[in-house]
Amino acid sequence: MSAVREGARRYRALLALPGARSPVVASALGSLPIGMFGLAILLLARDAAGSFAVAGRIVGAFGLGNALGAVAQGRMMDRLGQPRVLRPAAVGHVIALVALVIAAREDAPAWVLTVCAAAGGVFLPQLPAAMRSLWGTLVRSPEQRETAYAMVTIAFEVTVMTAPALTALIITVASPSAAVLVGAGIAGVSALAYSATDGPRRWRGEPHDAHWVGPLAAAGMRTVAVVLAAFGTAIGIVQVLMPAFADERGSAEAGGLLLALLSGGSLIGGLVYGGRSWPGAPNRRLAVLMLALAGGWALLAAVPSTAVLAVLLVCCGTLLAPAVTTASSLLDRVAPAGTVTEAFTVMVMAIVAGTAAGNALGGAIVDGASYEAGALTAAAIALLGSAAAVARRRTLT
């Protein structure tokens, strides 16, 4: 209980800082669509194309566009400030996803849906990255910063945890198209609201001479990116496996509830992890967490029932937020000076690009092999991520 009280005290102290509460709320709401789009676009594309494999590639295009757009937005925010980037991104994002819905309704070719989805990903406002950078100016002590970075992950997980259930509800009551449009509207409004608060308007990046590859010029950043790409790829496979698992039992929409359990576990893990200090070097913790995830994904292949799967998803989820928080804390060690926002977006890019690849791979495995093969593939990829963290540990110190 003392650990819980200490964690609650730390989080309350952060929210009490001047200029913190309003952008935290806006950035958390802006994270909600990220959890909605995976299922909403997947089912929208499946209805339009008639195939999980094609739908997985379209969702993958959205994720890849998001990854590339995240880095571009991060670099521009470091140079131009946050509102000057987030406001036009919000407008472009809404336009692209409205075009996606129209294309799906008009039975446009798959490549048209892919282009619209990719554009929607490129312009998705990068509010978690912006909030992570803002925390760097609001707090000073390393201990408080790690708690703040955990809060970014927790805020993300709270919204992402509710997003699949909300998406499933909207799809049941209305349609996948409605879920995509609701997500686009939330993303746009949240970005504009965040940009109107004092902290983001006053925030300025540190002037620096960046290499053309930005933070990836540092060996440690490349290691973090590789590990998190494996992390994201494994999750991307699981994101497709859950709707497929539910579809075999009569309701693909129920896959959203299964994914919500995964996010719920991540929320629990994030609250516990961010509420105390942990022994050992962060690079070692990252390798151990990836190894534990590999074991959890492997167990998904052997679940005898939906109830057992639900419990296992919560357990696996408890490892997700700690892994992301640990990687985020490593950025303070390995990222070049002056690339704070871009470094975080590179980290996000690695996760999102990996997730996009995992979505496409997962769709192909579900159509061509089996659910069990997909789970074992996710486990193998997570194991490779752990091995990379161990093999390149010197770059993270």
Tens of pLDDT, residues 121-130: 999 998 888 8
Specify the DSSP class assigned to residue 338.
T
The reply to whether 157 falls in a domain is: yes
**Nearest CA-CA partner of 132 in 151, 157, 107, 118:** 151
- Name the residue with higher pLDDT: 16 or 81: 81
Q: Cα separation of 176 and 168, whole Å?
A: 9
Burial of residue 264 (CB within 10 Å: 0-12, 13-18, 19+) is buried
CA distances from 223 to 216, 325, 389 (A): 9, 15, 7
**Nearest CA-CA partner of 349 in 187, 162, 209, 213:** 213
Domain around 85:
19-396
Q: Cα separation of 113 and 47, whole Å?
A: 12
Q: Which residues contact 84 (CB under 8 A, 6 or more apart)?
A: 76
- Name the residue with higher pLDDT: 2 or 281: 281
The reply to whether 148 falls in a domain is: yes
- Name the residue with higher pLDDT: 163 or 91: 91
The pLDDT of residue 275 is above 80: no
| DSSP three-state, residue 190 | helix
Q: Cα separation of 44 and 134, whole Å?
A: 35
The reply to whether 5 falls in a domain is: no
Side chain identity, residue 11: Y
The reply to whether 11 falls in a domain is: no
The reply to whether 146 falls in a domain is: yes
CB 191 within 8 A of CB 290: no
Token reading at 295: 């074991």
pLDDT at 276: 65
The reply to whether 221 falls in a domain is: yes
pLDDT in tens, 50-83: 777 788 888 888 988 887 888 788 878 877 888 8
Q: Cα separation of 257 and 161, whole Å?
A: 9
User: Considering the chain, what is the average pLDDT of its residues?
Assistant: 82
Per-residue pLDDT band for 113 (boundaries 50, 70, 90) equals very high
The reply to whether 9 falls in a domain is: no
pLDDT at 386: 93
In the chain, how many domains are there? 1
pLDDT at 106: 85
Find the CATH number of the domain harbouring 230. Answer: 1.20.1250.20
The reply to whether 78 falls in a domain is: yes
